[in-house]
Structure 1
Amino acid sequence: MVTLSPPGGLTVPTGLPEPPLALPRDRRLVVVSWTLDHGRDFDEACLIARRYDPDVVVLGLLREEHVSVAARLLSMDAEHSGRTPVTADRIAVFVRPDGALATPYNHRNPYLRDPGVPPASVSFALRDAEGARLPGLFNILGVHLGRSPSERLLAVEGFFARRPAPSRIIVGDFGEAAADEKDAAGTPVERLLAEQGMLDVARSLGTPAAMRDTAGELLGLGARYPAGRRCRLYADTHLAPAAVHLEVLPGYDDVSSRRPLLTVLDLEALRESVTAAHEHQAARKIQRFQAGTALRTERIAREQAAGLR
C-alpha cells in the first residue's frame, strides 16, 4: 500500500489495501465500520471507506440528513436507526446493492424513547454464488453506547431481549475504556456479551493490527479520547470463525476521534454458518411444537379418563 507522510506525522493511504489473506473478491465479505464525530467530515469518511471495496459500511453518529448523501457517495443502499427525542444522531448501515447480501429488513421503530443513540438493526438474506437467496437471516447491529455504565448494560440487555436473527454481528463504539471498569473477566459489557455467546473478533484473531487502540489523536486540540479498544466488533460464537481478518485502520485521525475497523469474512464460511443456524432454529421450533402436541394429547387423555370430557 502506497503511503505519504503529510505534516503532523499522519500516514494517509493513497491506494487500495492488499486483500487480507488470499481470498478472491467473490469469496469475501468486507465490512467497514466507523464512528464519526456527529457527522463531521462524513463525506470524507465515505470517500475513504470506498477505497476498501466494502460490501457493508456502518457509520455511527451521522445526522439523518447526511444518510442519503452518504448513500450516494458510497453507491450503496442505506438503512438507519430510529428517531429519538434526545439526539439528532443516527447510526446507518449501507449495503452494496449488487453484492452477497439481499433483501435488507430494518428492525427500527419509527420513534424511540431511547436514553442515547438508538442502534441500527438490519437483517439480510445471503445469496449463493449464483445469486439465489439462501435460507436464514444474518443481522448487523450498529451501536453507540452511552457514558453511563448502567445505560450501557441496559442497552446491551435490550439487544438480546429482541434478537431478530440467530446469526448476528454487533459493531460500534461500546463506550468502555477506563481501566477501573475492568476485572479479570473484562468490563461489565464484555462480560454480558460473553454470557450471550458473543465473541470479540479482534481478541479471537489476536493480531497486532486487530488489537490496536481505536482512539484517534484529536489534531490541534492537545486532547485524546480514553485509550483502549472502545470500538469493537462482536459475532455469535458460530459466526466468529468466518471472520478471517480485522484491522484498526491508522492514518485517518484528522477525520474522526475514533479509528475505522476493516473486517473481512470468508463468504463461504459465512453462508454455511448462517444456513446451519437457520436449520438449527427451525429444528428447535419443530421440537417445541411436537413437545407441546404430546403434552396436550396426554392432558386430554387424562381428562377423558377422569370423565372431564
Structure 2
Amino acid sequence: MSSSTSNNPPKFEVKATDWDRTAASYAQLASQGSPMSVPITKLVEMLQTVSPFDKATTILDVGCGPGSATSQLISTHHDIIPSNTQLLATDFSRGMVSIVSQVRDFKLGSLQDGTEKSTWSRVVPLVMDAQDLHPLLDDFVSHIIANFVLFMTDDPPKALKEAHRVLKSGGVFALSSWHRMDWMDYLVIAASHAFPTIGKPTPQMPEFPAQWASVDGVRELLRDAGFKDVQLEFVGAPIVMPKVEASVHAFLNSGNPAVTWITDVLEGNEVEEVEKQLVKVVKEKCEVNDKGAHILNGTAILAICRN
C-alpha cells in the first residue's frame, strides 16, 4: 500500500488475530471471485510449467488464507499429482486454517471417489508462521506457493530465508506481491473527503515495503535469499463490482486489515460516510464493462524461482 498524505506513512502491520477476525468474510470474497483469483491461477500454472506436479513430493501453500491456491492446484492438476504427495496448507491465522479444514472436509464428503478426492485427503492444514516454518525440515518441499503474503510479514527477508531453507535443491517457489491497487488509492481519496465531514483527523494508510512493489525490488529480495533462475511478470488483478454500493459496504465491513486502519477509528454511522464517499469515487473514476459492472484495476507482480 502507499499513501500520498505523508512522506512517512506508518508501516503495515498485521497480527494473526486480525486475519482471524476477517477469515469468514475473506473466504466468502474468495469464493465469489476476487482480485487474487487471476494471480493464483497464473502462479499454479507457472509452477506446473517450470516443474510439473507429477514430480511433486511435498507442496507447501504458505499463508494459505482460506485455501484458494490449494483449491486451484487440486482442481486443475489432481490427475497428475502423485498419490503419495502431501499438500501442506499453512497460515499463522487459526481462523484461516480452520476454514481450510472445513473446505477439505466438505470436499471429502461431497466428491466421488477418484484422484481429486484422494488429493484432498492428503491436504494437511497447519498453523505456522511464514517466518518460522519449523518443524519442517531442511530440503523437504518440492513446490512452494505464497500468494500475497510475504510482504505483510514483520520480517520479509526472514520469511524468504525460511522458504529457501525448506525447499529442496532444484525445487520451485512461486509468489506474488502488489504493484498497484486502485481500490486502495480510492479508499485514501474517500477517507480524505469523509473524515473532515465527520470531524476527525484523517488517518494515514499503512505502507508495505516499497521493494515489493517493483520487479527489480522483488528480484533483488529473492536473489539475496539465495534463490536463482528468477523470472518475473506483471498480471492484471482487478476487482469487478456488479453492484458498487453492496461491494463497498461488504469491503468496509469485512474486518480486512486493508480497511481497518479507517474503520477501527470510526463509529458505525461514521463508516457510512466513508462508504458514501467511496461509492462516489468508484463511480467517478472506474471503467464500466459491458455488463454494467465497475472495474477497479490492480496489478500484481508474479515471481518464480528455484533453489
**Which band: TM-score by shorter chain?**
0.3 to 0.5
Q: Which has the higher contact order (CA 8 A, sep 6+)?
A: 2
Q: Which has the higher helix share?
A: 2
TM-score for the superposition, normalised by structure 1: 0.35
Q: Which has the higher strand share?
A: 1
